[in-house]
Amino acid sequence: MLTATPERYRTRVLRALCVAGSLTVEGVARRSGIGVGIAHGELLAAESVGLVVDCAATGRWSSTAIGRILLRRLASAETVEGHRTRLASLRPRLAELDVEVANLTSRWFLREGEAGDRGAAMVINDHHDPIYDAAVLEDVARTHPERITAIYAAVVIVPRMERYAGRLADAWRRVRLGEHAALGDPEQDAYFDVWAEFLRDLDALAGWSGVRPHEVRRAG
Look at residue 93 in the predicted model and tell me its pLDDT. 95
pLDDT for residue 209 is more than 60: no
**Residue 139: Cβ within 10 Å count:** 15
The arithmetic mean of pLDDT across residues 205-211, rounded, is 65
pTM (two decimals): 0.86
The arithmetic mean of pLDDT across residues 41-61, rounded, is 94
Cβ–Cβ < 8 Å for 66, 53:
no
Query: Which amino acid, residue 206?
Result: A
Look at residue 2 in the predicted model and tell me its pLDDT. 44
The arithmetic mean of pLDDT across residues 81-89, rounded, is 85
H helical segments located in the chain: 8-20, 25-32, 36-48, 65-78, 81-88, 91-109, 130-155, 162-176, 181-184, 191-206
Which pLDDT band holds residue 115 (cuts at 50, 70, 90)?
Answer: low
With pLDDT > 70 as the criterion, what percentage of the chain qualifies?
88
The arithmetic mean of pLDDT across residues 205-209, rounded, is 73
Of 80-84, 87-91, 205-209, the least confident: 205-209
For residues 35 and 165, give the distance between their C-alpha atoms in angstroms, rounded to a whole number. 20
Task: Please state the three-class secondary structure of 89-120 as a single string.
Answer: CCHHHHHHHHHHHHHHHHHHHEEEEEEECCEE
pLDDT for residue 215 is more than 70: no
Alpha carbon separation from 12 to 5, 45, 80, 174 (Å, rounded): 13, 13, 20, 25
pLDDT for residue 64 is more than 60: yes
Q: Which of 94, 100, 105 is nearest to 199 (CA)?
A: 94
Q: What is the mean pLDDT of the chain?
A: 87
- Please provide the size of the chain in residues: 220
| H or E element that contains 181 | helix 181-184
DSSP 85: H
Question: pLDDT tens digits, residue range 159-189?
Answer: 999 999 999 999 999 999 999 999 999 888 9
